[in-house]
Amino acid sequence: MSNVRIRGIYTTALTERLREAFDVVQASPPIRRRFDATFSGEEYDASVETTDDRQGVGIVGDPEAVEAVTDDLADLGIDTFRWSDPTPRGAVFDAVVTDTLGGGAVVDLGDREGYLSFGATDRRIDEGDRVRVQVRDPVAPWADRRPDLDTEIQAFGGVVSLSKGVDKVVARGDDATRTELARTTEMLSTEVPDDWGIRWEYAAEDAGLTAMDDALGKAVSRAEAIDAALADAPDSPEDADRGDLPRRLAAPEATEWLWFGRESRFAVDAERRAVTTTMPGHHRVKAAHDSASTAVDFVEDLWADVGAASGDADDEFPVGATLRQFGPAEGDRLEIRHGKPDGRCFSLGRGEVTEFEPAEGKATVRREMSGRGTYDALGTPREAGDVAVTKFREGRWWYPTVYRGEDGEKKGTYVNVCTPVELFPDAARYVDLHVDVVKSPEGAVERVDDDELDAAVEVGHVSAELAEKARSVASSVERALQ
C-alpha cells in the first residue's frame, strides 16, 4: 500500500476514509490520540494538504499514488471537482519572464504563469529574460495567486529533501537535533548522487533508521530522474530555441486539486462522525474563517462532555447561528466568487448586503454596474448607473439577479445554475454549471448554454451525475419563471 500524509482541517475525516486502502503516515499527535493507533513515521508517497482558503485539498507526490488517492477522494460528493496541475510541485521549466512586479517576476510556464521572487535568484531579472525554474509551491487553480518558483533545484520529501548544487547535510530543528541527524546520515546505506545536498525535515525526528534510509532512497530516485531529464536539455535556457519556450524539462511528481462544494463538505462530516463527535456542518463552518475552527472545537468538546450523541447526518446545519456569528451582515460588502468547472475562479464584483435573514440563510446583494455593452444572454444594453440585485440562499442550486436601469426600468432577470451556494463572511461561493435561465423585460423565458454544459461533460470537467442535476434544476427554474 502507498503511504499517505494528511494535513489541515479535513485530516480526521480523510484519515478515516483512506486508512483502509492506504497507510497513513506522519500523523500528528491529535490524530494519534483520536484514532488510538500507532502511525508510522515513514516517508509519504502522496501528501494531502488543505488549501490555504480551506475550500479543498491538494495532493502531491508520486504520480501513481497521487492518482490513486485522488480517485478515491473525488467520489466524496456530487460537487467535488478535480483538476490535474500542469505545473506540479518539483516540475522544472525553461521559460521566459513576461513581466516584473514589485518583488519578483511573472514567468510564462505555458498553461499557467508562475511567480519568481527576486530573492530566489542571484542575478537581475527583466522582462524577456530566459530562466530555468522549479515549482516550489503549487497553487490551486481557483486561487488568486501564481505558483511560487525557485532557481534552486530540489527533490522534495516529507522526511528528507535533496538540493542540487549543495554539498552538505542540513536539518530542521534545534541544535541537538541537527547534530544528531547529521551523524545519523553517515550510518545510512543509501548513497546520494554527486552535487546533491541533504536536508532533513522536521518529520525525520520521528523516523527510525530504516524509515530514514527508505526516505533518502525515494529522494535519490527523484533526484536521479531530474538529473536524467536535465542531461537531455540545453545547459542553459539561453541556448534553447526561443520558439521552444516554455518547455517542461522534468516532472518527478504530480499535483492534483480537489474543490469541495457544500454537499461534499457534509459528506466529509460523515466520515469524521464515524470517529469522533462532529457537529452538523463541521467542515462548512471551519471553511468559513480561521476563528471558526476554535468555535467548532469548543462546541464539540462541550457536546462530548455532556454526553450528547456524536451528531446525526440528518441533523440540520445551524445556518442561522453560523451566519450570525461569522457573517456576512447587513451593510457588509460581499464579493461574488464565480467558480468555473475548469478550475478557474472569477470575481463578479462586490456589492452591499441590503437584506439579510440569517435564520433562512438568505442575503440580498446590490451592485452598481459600470461600463457599457450588453447583458449576457439577455441582449439588453448595459449602462453606467444600472443596478444588479442578486438574491442568495445558502444551499440552493441557483440564484437570480435582476438588472434595472438608473431609472428603475427592468432590464431582465438572469438565473445562474450552480453548485449549492455557500455564504462565507466575505464572499458568496459556488461553481457555475454553465446552463442558465434568463427572462427578458418583455417576459420571454429562455434556457441558455446547454451546449457549454455538454462540452464540460465531454472533457471531464463535470460528471454525468452533476450535469443531470444541473439540467433538472434549470428545467425547474424555467417552469417557475414561465
**φ, ψ (nearest 5 deg) of residue 55:** -85, -15
* Coil, strand or helix at 348: strand
Among the residue ranges 20-24, 169-173, 226-230, 475-479, the one predicted with the least confidence is 169-173
Question: For 46-67, what is each residue's pLDDT tens digit?
Answer: 999 999 999 999 999 999 999 9
Mean of pLDDT values over 309-320: 70
The region of weakest confidence among 54-68, 196-210, 306-320, 397-411 is: 306-320
Picking from 352, 466, 482, 327, the residue whose alpha carbon sits closest to that of residue 415 is: 482
| Average pLDDT for 427-440 | 98
Burial readout 439-448 (b: 16 or more C-beta within 10 A, e: otherwise)? bbeeeebebb
Assess whether pLDDT exceeds 80 at residue 310: no
- The rounded percent of the chain whose pLDDT value lies above 90 is 83
Report the pLDDT averaged over residues 299-326: 75
pLDDT tops 90 at residue 292 = no
User: Cell 462586490 identifies what position?
Assistant: 350
Answer whether residue 291 shows pLDDT above 90.
no
Interatomic CA distance for residues 10 and 261, integer angstroms = 13
pTM of the model as a whole:
0.94
* Position 356 pLDDT exceeds 80: yes
In this predicted model, what pLDDT tens digit does every residue of 140-165 receive, in sequence order?
A: 999 999 999 999 999 999 999 999 98
- Enter the C-alpha cell of residue 63: 504520480
Interatomic CA distance for residues 114 and 328, integer angstroms: 33
List CB contacts of 235: < 8 A, sequence separation 6 or more: none
Using the predicted structure, report yes or no on whether residue 307 has a pLDDT greater than 70.
Answer: no
As a whole number, the mean pLDDT across the chain is: 94
Helix (H) or strand (E) holding 388: strand 387-393
Structural domains in the chain plus CATH codes: 327-481 (2.40.380.10)
